[in-house]
Amino acid sequence: MGAEYKVVRILEMVRPKETGGLEKYYRHTIKTKGGTILTVDVNESDFTAEKAAPILSKKATEADKVLGL
């Protein structure tokens, strides 16, 4: 986990695929360094520490930039 955010909660979710059937994804609730709380959806294939960390970090950084406007 980077210093840009803290993971508050992770929910396993299911949604219909466009091609039929279902797919799992993970909804992360994070709190950014600037205090913004947001949710970020991560596909099941990206649900590893190595793959999810850059996704969450990018969203946290962008949220704090928007907060600073």
Token output for 13 = 């979710």
Q: Indicate the pTM of the whole model.
A: 0.86
- Residue 10 burial (10 A CB sphere; 0-12, 13-18, 19+): middle
Token output for 5 = 């955010």
Local confidence pLDDT in tens for the 69 residues of the chain: 447 899 999 999 999 999 999 999 999 999 999 999 999 999 999 999 999 999 999 999 999 999 988
